[in-house]
Amino acid sequence: MATPALSSTDDIRTRAESALTRCGAQLAAYKGDALTARTPITGAALFGLRADTPADVDRAVEAAGTAFRAWRTTPAPVRGALVKRFGELLTEHKQDVADLVTIEAGKIRSEALGEVQEMIDVCDFAVGLSRQLYGRTMPSERPGHRLMETWHPLGVVGVISAFNFPVAVWAWNTAIALVCGDTVVWKPSELTPLTALACTALLDRAIAETGAPAGLGQVLLGAADVGERLVDSPLVPLVSATGSTRMGRAVGPRVAARFGRSILELGGNNAAVVTPSADLDLVVNASVFAAAGTAGQRCTTLRRLIVHEDVADTVVERLTSAYRRLPIGDPFREDTLVGPLINESSYTRMRTALDRAVEDGGTLCAGGERQLAEAAPDAHYVRPAVVRMPAQTAVVREETFAPVLYVLTYRDLDEAIRLHNDVPQGLSSGIFTADQNEAERFLAPDGADCGIVNVNIGTSGAEIGGAFGGEKETGGGRESGSDAWRSYMRRATNTVNYSGQVALAQGVNFSQ
């Protein structure tokens, strides 16, 4: 069977220009030769773009600070009206933004559209939140006193996002920050600048249409030096950074050194446990998506499958069969399930990890070979790999940001949990079981040590209603739903004395 042709670079470039224009982004204003917008679909360059300077970073932060001083006293439900309009514009331009996500990140159509839907969903969540920024009233120990807490806007929020979710993570932060009364300065990945330009144009339109202060959302294009300037700015009280653990090791201490706050969403080495009672149809279907979706380039990608020895052979056989049938190719084609890796470095890291795994005694059961090399020599399509490992070796304990699934075996659940937790990362996890006791054991305090712990579902596909984030080298940050909004605000404890007398706490007597 002939391999379906890939979209041509000229067609992709035209599609990108059209999407940007419909979103209101003025590409001409960003033309330059410092950055190159590329597409992993063909590996080709699309546009040359300018890069911001450290002085530009300072100006953006200053503008956001000026906007903050007006925005922080705007009633929260009015702030919610801006986010509501932004969500409406995202709905109107869902296809355009999804096109740019596919063009720059290589995501298949359903995943690209799903990412934009996450943006819309978090806007809906934030609009409701704008009327629910609750404090508490606590009983005072002193008569005639009221003790309470209030929450206030924090300031300028710096957002540094990664290529694999080029728009959703920014939206998680921005929608929540805006209703909390903050402003946002965004440094997107240099691999996905076009999506940032489109989303910023839509936000600017929402700001103008609702009469909100100009400058609430700023975007900065550039490499690491731009992000470093943002991280070091004393006018940015909160930095939300998504990326590798290595990046987090640099960002966290620098923000802490100036007594700022950080939300770190870093690496994941996610595992799922498969028990003998598990529904294997459910296991295979969920695992294939979790491990091969987004070409293995999600922070929540399933990287380790810890399977009971009684069902391991069957699970590996079924996974191997499914992997060999996965349609790989142009992410714009509706029948494609696995698109390209982002670049050559990702492919090199994948091949290196597979070589190390085999050296450690692993058996490559499926995948690992490059696809479409003749049709797209500058792109990097690869068949997702399944590797059966005799033990959890050093390479298994590392995060390889590519579609490599290691399969390990166990005899009892305690052993499985030890294997699960014996990695530096702690983002997402799951267990497949029909036994309620096993599920509860996995969810217990001495069970899975991750920020996201699932039962009978894979490690990918978190909903915006829950707080997203992980433990250990994943950084400990929380974004999106639940009470993650508190990270974007400052808390004040208030005591109101309506007694007409001075009464000190703890019964202290200081009368004259």
Residues designated as active site: 265
What tokens does 481 get?
């739903």
Task: Give Cβ neighbours of residue 510 (< 8 Å, ≥ 6 apart).
Answer: 504
Closest by CA to 221, choosing from 37, 91, 473, 3, is: 37
Q: Kind of pairing, strands 489-497 and 145-153?
A: antiparallel
- Cα distance between residue 32 and residue 265, in whole Å: 31
Element (H, E) at 152: strand 145-153
Is 226 in a helix, a strand, or coil? helix
Token pair recorded at residue 345: 């470095």
Cα 122 to Cα 90: distance, rounded to the nearest angstrom: 11
Q: Residues with Cβ < 8 Å from 364, sequence gap 6 or more? A: 354, 357, 358, 385, 386, 387
Of 283, 379, 372, whose CA–CA distance to 40 is shortest? Answer: 379
Our CA angle for 165, 167, 169, nearest 5°, is: 65
What whole-number distance in Å separates Cα of residue 312 and Cα of residue 159? 42
DSSP 8-state assignment for residue 504: -
Residue 110, SS3 per DSSP: helix
Our CA angle for 103, 349, 193, nearest 5°, is 30
Q: State the Cα–Cα distance between residues 420 and 364, nearest whole angstrom.
A: 21
**Is 339:349 a contact under the CB 8 Å cutoff?**
no
Task: Determine the Cα–Cα distance for residues 448 and 429; give it in Å rounded to an integer.
Answer: 7
**At 339, is the secondary structure helix, strand, or coil?**
coil
How far is residue 58's CA from residue 76's CA, in Å, rounded to a whole number? 27
Residue 183 and residue 71 in contact, taking contact as beta carbons nearer than 8 Å = yes
Tally helices (H) and strands (E) across the chain.
Answer: 15, 23
Q: 493 by DSSP, 3-state: which?
A: strand
| C-alpha torsion angle, residues 388, 278, 473, 383 (rounded to 10) | 40
Lookup: tokens for 284: 């295979």
Contact by Cβ (8 Å): 251, 104: no
**3-state SS class at 463:** coil
